[in-house]
Amino acid sequence: MADMVIWDRFIRCYHWFIVVAFVLNYFVLEPGEQVHQWLGYSVVTLVLLRLLWGLVGPPRARISSFFPSRVRLSRHLQQLRERQLPQHEGHNPLGGLMIITLWSLLIGQGVTGFLLVETHRFYGNSELEAVHAWFAHVIYACILVHVAAVLVIGWWGKIALIRPMITGTRER
């Protein structure tokens, strides 16, 4: 039986570019460097494209497929208790909460970065620099929770979560 497609090429490239850009901007590059700025602008552009893809893209990429409603969260928690997660789904409702959180934080990070370097009013503003740094630290904390959840939920729910983000497919 053929593998089922979980993530399309855009979703996978988007995901891994965000990972690389965050690692470079958080751990390697100096804030304010030109490359740091362009990576930040690229991330915001990609998040906006991802939001658009979430409206018009394939079914598993659509926001409506993982939006965390009360019913979906309840069903997902039941599936977790039973250790039987659906193999055909992309993001689960808890993953959806994380995605929406990260999108919001990444946009906030980009807006504060833009204001810091592109406007006279906020250029070098220490309070805004603190908010920009706070966004970065909260994003990092969310990433740690995300990675831990992928590992634990993948094991607990008996579902391959890493392979589909690399190859796009999951074994049936």
- Identify the DSSP state of 88: T
Distance set, CA 138 to CA 35, 80, 93, 117, 134 (Å): 22, 26, 20, 21, 6
- Identify the DSSP state of 58: -
Domain spans of the chain, in order of start: 4-170
pLDDT score recorded for residue 2: 82
pLDDT score recorded for residue 164: 97
Crossing angle for the helix pair 9-23 and 34-56, to the nearest 10 degrees: 150
pLDDT score recorded for residue 4: 94
pLDDT score recorded for residue 172: 84
Q: What region, left, alpha or beta, does residue 154 occupy, with left being phi > 0 and alpha being psi -120 to 50 degrees?
A: alpha
d(C-alpha 6, C-alpha 27), whole Å: 31
Q: Residue 4: beta bridge partners?
A: 170
The model carries a pTM of: 0.95
Q: What is the pLDDT along the chain (172 residues), one digit of tens a residue?
A: 789 999 999 999 999 999 999 999 999 999 989 999 999 999 999 999 999 999 999 999 999 999 999 999 999 999 999 999 999 999 999 999 999 999 999 999 999 999 999 999 999 899 999 999 999 999 999 999 999 999 999 999 999 999 999 999 999 8
Element (H, E) at 116: helix 93-118
Check: CATH 1.20.950.20 for 4-170? yes
3 state DSSP class of 169: strand
Q: Residue 124: beta bridge partners?
A: none
- Is residue 34 within 8 A of residue 54, CB to CB? The reply is no
